[in-house]
Structures are given as C-alpha cells and as structure tokens.
C-alpha cells in the first residue's frame, strides 16, 4: 500500500494519494478541502488508490488566474479533468460531497467517471436565486471564533454548537476534524466565487451521464444545508441513479456515518 503523501501537485491542484487498487477521487464541498475525507481515506485505501485533491481556490490549491467572480461546478470539473490528464488517468471512480457531489456528476457527464457516489450533492434543484444563508452564517461564525479555535475544537459542547447546521452526530467529530474544517472555511480564497457559481444554476446534464456508469445519490435524513423541500429534484439526476437515505445523518456523511460512507462508495464502484 502506498503511504499517504501530501503536497503533490498536478495541473494546479494539490492532492494526497494513498492505497492500491482502482483509482478513486474524493471531492470536497464548498469552503472545505481534502481533509474532509480524512476519516474515511484509511478504509477506502484498502480497496482503492485514493486521490484527495483540493479543488481550485480551496485548501492548498491556488485560485486559477482566469477566474473572476464566478467559478461554477462545471469549471471545477474541467479543472479535475485537466488534473486527471496530467496524471495519465482517463477515468476514475468519483465520490463527492455537497458542491463536490455536483462536480462529480459533471465529471460523469464529461465521460470521465467509472462510477459516481454523490453524497448530499448540490445542484439537484431548480436554479436557486441566492447564496446559501446557512453556509454564510457558518463562515461568519468561523471567522468570529478563529482566535479561540485551538480551545473550542477540544470542547464537545462547542463542537456541537458550532457544527449544529452541518452534522447530526457531533460526538463523531474530533478536535482535528473540527479545527481543520474551520480553518478551511475561513481560508478558502474561492469561497465567494464558487458560492456565486452555484447560484442561478442547476445540474442540467443528466442525459449526458452514460447509462453504464453506476450513480448513487445519498442524502442524510437530517441534512439542514440542502433541505428535502427544495434541493432534491430527482428529474435533475440521471434516470438510472439510485437514491438512498442515510439515517441520523446531516450534510457530511463522512463525519456522521463514516463506515456507511465507505461501504456505499465500495458498493457503487463494485469494489
């Protein structure tokens, strides 16, 4: 098994790689980074070669020079495609959370996916008219509390309060996950452009996803970021997609139900 290595770079994206087996790329959400998948990478790396890139303008990856005020999920998918080309990989299994789930579906529509596991994906909505207020509230709260992050991240009560919009099982959060997620949200230079890039858009390429590419769409039953009433329009997904509900799960299944997340990705990929 390949030892996990940080700070590799290709085509402008910094990424970590570990494991041995068919290639699997893990795509994080808005204002996050590759660290979002830390809790599931060890188990996945027993079955896949896992690649965890920081998407453009997130984590360790720089903001592309040609990006203005609008960085859409399709642009993110194109960046991942160039990164795959640089690695010499034509197709990969893809798993993505939130914005990363939307990017995963775009990658499938581009013909670059072996399978797609979309975890609480964005984009399966009628085009929204404004940014997510909960995401902006979370970022504002992160900025306010930044000086106290080392202390607050060690407090179960603080973790429960600070992540109440995002997770259903705060007891699953570790201080490391908490502190890393807060720093990522504060420091993501593409946060505004990527957030704007999802407004007035939806995933509208479902008919371009090949029928032989397995697609699973999984939402937590207590996802407060993308509520069922407005964000889960099945006609925006590929016709052959399988929809499932994760019990006692919020918006980030890797944190709430890591074992189920690993099992779901493996099942979708047939590995």
What local confidence, expressed as pLDDT, does residue 5 receive?
Answer: 52
Residues 23, 223: Cα–Cα separation, whole Å: 29
Flag whether pLDDT at 2 surpasses 50.
no
Domain ranges in the chain?
2-269
Assign a CATH topology to domain 2-269: Rossmann fold (3.40.50)
- pLDDT of 68 > 80? The answer is no
Q: Does the pLDDT at position 207 exceed 80?
A: yes
How high does pLDDT run on average in the chain? Answer: 94
In this predicted model, what pLDDT tens digit does every residue of 141-196 receive, in sequence order?
Answer: 889 988 998 898 999 998 999 899 899 999 999 999 999 999 999 999 999 999 99
Tell me the pTM: 0.95
Mean pLDDT of 121-132: 93
Evaluate if residue 1 carries a pLDDT over 50: no
pLDDT digits (tens, 9 = 90+) for 80-114: 999 999 999 999 999 999 999 999 999 999 999 99
Across the range 246-263, mean pLDDT stands at 98
């Amino acid at each position: 098994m390949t030892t996990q290595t940080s700070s590799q770079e290709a085509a402008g994206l910094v990424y970590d790689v570990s494991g041995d087996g068919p290639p699997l790329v893990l795509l994080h959400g808005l204002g996050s980074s590759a660290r979002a998948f830390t809790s599931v990478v060890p188990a996945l790396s027993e079955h896949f070669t896992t690649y965890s890139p920081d998407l453009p303008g997130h984590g360790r990856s720089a903001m592309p020079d040609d990006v203005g005020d609008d960085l859409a999920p399709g642009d993110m998918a194109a960046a991942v495609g160039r990164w795959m080309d640089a690695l010499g990989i034509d197709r990969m299994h893809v798993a993505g959370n939130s914005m990363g789930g939307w990017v995963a579906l775009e990658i499938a529509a581009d013909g670059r996916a072996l399978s797609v596991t979309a975890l609480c994906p964005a984009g399966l909505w009628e085009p929204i008219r404004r940014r997510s207020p909960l995401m902006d509230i979370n970022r504002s709260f992160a900025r306010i509390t930044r000086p106290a992050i080392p202390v607050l991240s060690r407090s179960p009560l603080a973790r429960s309060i600070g992540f109440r919009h995002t997770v259903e099982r705060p007891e699953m959060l570790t201080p490391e996950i908490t502190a890393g997620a807060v720093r990522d949200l504060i420091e993501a230079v593409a946060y505004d452009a990527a957030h704007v890039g999802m407004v007035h858009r939806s995933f509208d390429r479902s008919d371009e996803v090949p029928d032989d590419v397995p697609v699973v769409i999984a939402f937590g039953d207590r996802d407060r970021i993308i509520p069922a009433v407005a964000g889960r329009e099945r006609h925006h997904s590929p016709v052959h997609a399988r929809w499932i509900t994760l019990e006692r799960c919020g918006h980030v299944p890797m944190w709430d139900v890591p074992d189920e997340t690993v099992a779901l990705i493996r099942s979708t990929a047939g590995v």
